A and B are shown apart, each in its own frame.
Chain A
Amino acid sequence: MIEAVWAEATEILDLVHDSIIVRRMDGTILQWNAAAEAQYGIARGDAVGRRLSELLPGEPPELLEQAEAELLEGGAWEGELIRRNKAGDEMIIDVRWSIRREEDGTPRQIVETGRDVTEERANEEAVRLSDYRFRNLFEAMAVSFWEIDFNGVGAMLVALRDQGIEDIRGYLLDNIPIVREMLRQTLTLDVNAKTLEMFAAGSKEDIVGLHTERYWPPENLPVFVDSLIATLEKQPTFIRETVLLDHNDNRLNVMFTVAWSPDTRKRGVVTLGVIDITDRVSAERKLQQIQADYTHAARVATLGELTASIAHEVNQPLAAIVTNGEASLRWLGRSEPDVGEARELATRMVADARRAADVISRIRNMATRQTTGHELVSVNDVITDTLDFLRRDLQSHDVRVTFNGTADLPQVDADRTQLQQVLINLAVNAQQAMVQRGVENRRLDIRTAPIPGGHGVVVEIRDNGPGIPPDLASRLFESFVTTKPNGLGIGLSICRSIIEAHGGHIEVTNNGGACFTFSLPVQVQEADGGDLRCEKEAPATDMAGASSD
């Protein structure tokens, strides 16, 4: 009878998906259902009669004793146990134990249901590790991270769209108070430790739960607007250099990035990354300052080489003024003063004084640290002005100058003083090279031509000096490379810096002398070579002859 009931019970237990093991209080296994066979890979026949703790080792005996003690006390126990199956693999089993008692209450058997949760726990662990790693990254990276709830902003954007506003960017830029309101609608959900440091915040409470308006200086609101537009257009990322304010209202040079994942986008949450680039920006500034200093020093040095002709330029009108003054005194000192003659001479004196002042202001422009800044200039005009400046010097060294400027060139976006500096440098170099080598028929030919398509201007400056030594040609524009006995080798490297800062390119070839060509694109961004190469001799007007007075 008992056997029959037992057999029926076994049959029923086999239908249950969880493993069911019944054991005596001493651990001897009485029941082992089909699910237990499958779970542990041990047949019922091999299990029944064995002690459970020996059949499925894993946890230390003390822990099991502790668990059984709790079971006896409370009548039930549940927990996760590590067990090794037949193959020796560790498993994590979620078990529930309960006690069957005799009628007098004496504990008789322990019934265990168990579920293999090994895989589940492994997955959970993987997720936990991944969370942990993300958290670590989020906290430890040298990037300030912000989790921002954008739902309020999203609602405002949708409202704008519903109003039929198509150009939302333009609308927002015209309505900055709305942009400010949008910033007030943001909600900071979390930030990492780096954020506190970067933005000089005392604790997370100073940032989390609040909006982000305070971080945006007014002039950079367009960057925020652009990031909104990028969100609307569902671009995956947005990156922009900008300036944000920290909690002390100090300006931070940052790289501002926004990233959306489909998941966070659904929740209306964006992750902002802010990278501090202040060091990089200040290093760039310093470098620019050093370059400006060098450029200025080179300009002054070049002026030094021109002092003789500069003195002439200034002394000439002064001599005329003195002479005119003396002559007018004589006309006025006659017994019958000739006021007409005196008036004419006075008029000439005024003109000569202006001329002297012009020369001095031209020199002062070259000598001061300030350059004129970028403006639209006619390259031909700059060349003509520069040749006025150099005419005396070139003439006194018997250099014949021709300038053949192509008419109707596009104007280029350039710094006039820096352009003059390049031209003066190249012309003085040519003059010195020709004098140094004792060239007989010294010539300096300058031409301009358009870059095809109207994209800019090419300038060619050719002399008939000794040319560039072949071993120097490839390094000529580097610093401290020079062909002059006492040269520093700074001038041409600065010429290259200036031309490249204008988006252009400078090169040199030997063609009966040295021939420098440089390009100046209309806009600084696009650089392109022109069709002016030093191959062919061009007909040229004789500058020196035409302009002599």
Chain B
Amino acid sequence: MQAERAISIIEDDESLRLALVGLLRSMAHDAHGYATAEDFLAADEGDLDCVITDIQLPGMSGIEMMRHLRARGDAVPVIVVTARDEKRVLAEARAGGALCLLRKPFETQDLLDCLDRAFAA
């Protein structure tokens, strides 16, 4: 079992958000969920080990949120999950500095692999 990590999840779909928080809690991580990018940025948790975000969110998108983090000097690893598959969106996510890109519905093992990479970074 890995050491407890601090992870934030930004996902506007409540059931998926709760599912992700539940999964990470079952792995003994400290997970917090947010419905919007604005809520997450305002909470300003600091010292996170990883951020998992949806791209398509009401208001600020996940990609814009990533830019805000980078702009304030936060280099926290970001895992992007999305139900969209337009190439433009995926390219933007990569260009924005996403560590991982996961398409919904994703295999849990893929998410765990991404998390391992994030914690190793």
Contacts and interface: CB of A to CB of B under 8 A. Distances in A.
Partners in one complex: yes
Interface in A297-355: 308, 311-312, 315-324, 326-328, 330-331, 341, 345, 348, 351-352, 355
A60 interface: no
Interface string B11-25: 011111011101101
A315 B83 contact: yes
A392 B13 CA distance: 11
A44 B106 CA distance: 130
B5 interface: no
A323 B19 CA distance: 6
Interface stretch (A100-108, A147-155, A365-373, A541-549): A541-549
B35 to A, nearest CB: 7
B19 to A, nearest CB: 4
A328 B26 CA distance: 8
A395 interface: yes
B105 A319 contact: yes
Given A330-B27, A548-B35, A348 B15 contact: yes
B104 interface: yes
A326 B26 CA distance: 9
A316 B108 CA distance: 14
Given A327-B19, A348-B18, A308 B86 contact: yes
Interface residues of B, number: 28
Nearest to A333: B26
B83 A544 contact: no
B47 to A, nearest CB: 25
Contacts of B104: 312, 315-316, 318-319
A323 B83 contact: no
Contact of B108 (A317, A323, A341): A323
Interface in B67-121: 81, 83-86, 104-108, 111
A330 B12 contact: no
A545 B38 CA distance: 13
A501 to B, nearest CB: 36
Given A311-B83, A322-B108, A395-B58, A316 B26 contact: no
A322 B16 CA distance: 10
Contact of A549 (B13, B22, B26, B81): B13
A330 B83 contact: no
A441 interface: no
Interface string B25-62: 11100000001100000000000000000001010000
Interface in A168-211: none
A320 B88 CA distance: 25
A322 B110 CA distance: 12
A312 B105 CA distance: 10
Interface of B: 12-16, 18-20, 22-23, 25-27, 35-36, 56, 58, 81, 83-86, 104-108, 111
Interface of A: 308, 311-312, 315-324, 326-328, 330-331, 341, 345, 348, 351-352, 355, 392, 395-396, 544-545, 548-549
